[in-house]
Structure 1
Amino acid sequence: MKAAREFVVNTLVGGIFIVVPVYLAIVLLLKGMQSAARLVKPFAAMVPDWLPAETFFSLLLVLLACFLVGAAVRTKAGRAIREKMEKVFFERLPGYGLLRSLTQRLAGDTEESAWQPALSEIEDALVPSFIIEELADGRYTVFVPSIPTPFAGAVYVLARERVHPVDVPFTQAVRTISRWGSGSGEMVAAMRSPTSGPTA
């Protein structure tokens, strides 16, 4: 009964972590398109009525705005402004830093050190895990996901020698977990020395 309850809760939490960000992104996109519709009306009026020009131009304008913002934050000045905003506003939100690290990992940011795939020694076994941070005393905070839900599980603080970073992409580690451990052999083969520390 307890195992069934844990399975339902972990699966539900994992689904929420996937559905909620997607839902919020869609809502924000639709809101942005509604605001942009006023700006594109003059251009849409020049297109035949049978074409959904207003919707198309609104979507195009929102995507262009997102692209320009993304390009701006890649500049030196843009990065400085983004970091300032994060420190003043966003980092005060619970879980923002961890969510940002996860998002950057999903986007393939190789400079992000959090969520480094690893194999951790729990009792007498090696379990797929993610290094969240390194503590001042050299120990690691690791997140051990609950199979097959990658984003629900337990957090451990383990000695450095019990944590073995692996040189595989974050997405590959998530895929292994979501497939009930299929592909773990590649993680074992890519296991590094516990003394080398996590790298992106």
Structure 2
Amino acid sequence: MKAALAYFAKRVVAGLLVIVPIYLAILVLLKGMKSLGQLVRPFSKLLPEWLPAEQFLSLILVLLICFFIGAALRTRLGERTRTRVERGVFEKIPGYGLFRSLTQQVAGDSRQNVWKPALVEIEDALVPAFIIEVFEDGRYTIFVPSVPTPLAGAIYVLEASRVHPLDVSFTDAFKVITKWGLGAKDLVAAMEAGTNRREVPMLVSKADGAP
């Protein structure tokens, strides 16, 4: 009975981790459209009557505001302002930093080291995983997602020799997990290609020093 309840609870949490951010994003979008309704109402009369002009213009205006905010955050001043706000407010919210890194990885920010795809050695197998944290002594905190709910899984602390970071995007690794392992051969190929690139300079240096 306890095992069944634990199984059910894990699946509920995994579902919530997917649904809640989507729900909140839609809620904020609708709230923004409603707030801007009065502002765009005079312009909505210029469009055909069959078109839901007020909702359409409100949506366009909200998206434009999001675009300009996103563009401003890419500037040096915007980056400093965002950092101050995050440190002063948002980073006090449990789990904010981790999920911020997750969303940045989804957006293709290659500078992020958190949620970096990897293949890790567990027993005699290679397991798709994500790097969450790097220790000062070189060890890694690893998140191994479950299938097919990759936002639930297990946490491991592994030696560096058992962790193979991959030069692939977060979304590519995420798809492999959600597709029950389909495409894992591409992750193995990326690992082997990275290993070969590291070995070539070592071989060259030995050759240069040979008599």
TM over 0.5: yes
Show the counterpart of 1:171.
171
More helix by share: 2
Q: SS of the residue aligned with 2:152? A: strand
Which position in structure 2 is the counterpart of 1:133?
133
Provide the C-alpha distance between the structure 2 equivalents of 1:129 and 1:57, rounded to a whole number of angstroms: 43
Distance 1:162 1:48 in 2: 63
**Per-residue CA distance 1:117-171 (angstroms, 9 max, x = gap):** 1111122222110001101121100100011211100111111111111222111
- Amino acid of the structure 1 residue aligned with 2:15: G
Q: Does 1:16 align with 2:26?
A: no
Q: CA offsets per residue over residues 21-44 of structure 1, 9 Å max, x none?
A: 111111100000000001111112
Decide whether aligned partners of structure 1 residues 162 and 2 sit closer, same or farther in structure 2, where only a CA change above 3 A counts. farther
What displacement does 1:9 show?
A: 3.8
> Which stretch shows the higher mean deviation, 45-54 or 26-35?
45-54
Q: Secondary structure at the match of 1:46?
A: coil
- Where structure 2 has 5 or more consecutive residues not aligned to the other structure, the ranges are 199-211
Q: Closer, same or farther in 2 for the Cα pair 1:49/1:145, shift >3 Å?
A: same
> TM-score, normalised on structure 2?
0.85
Identity rate, percent: 57
Residues 1:70 and 2:70 aligned together: yes
Higher normalized contact order (CA 8 Å, seq sep 6+, divided by chain length):
1
Residue 60 (structure 2) pairs with residue 60 (structure 1): yes
Q: Which runs of 4+ in 1 moved over 6 A?
A: none
* Residue of structure 2 equivalent to 1:156: 156
Q: Distance in 2 between matches of 1:44 and 1:13?
A: 42
Q: TM-score, normalised by structure 1?
A: 0.90
The farther-off stretch of 182-191 and 48-57 is 48-57
Report SS of the residue matched to 1:150: coil
Asked if the contact 1:116/1:165 (under 8 Å) is kept, the reply is: yes
Instruction: Give the Å deviation of 1:6.
Output: 5.5
Provide structure 1 residue ranges, at least 5 long, that are not aligned to the other structure: none
SS in 2 for 1:114: coil
Deviation at 1:51, TM superposition (A): 2.4
Alpha-carbon spacing, 1:52–1:134, altered in 2? closer, same or farther (3 Å):
same
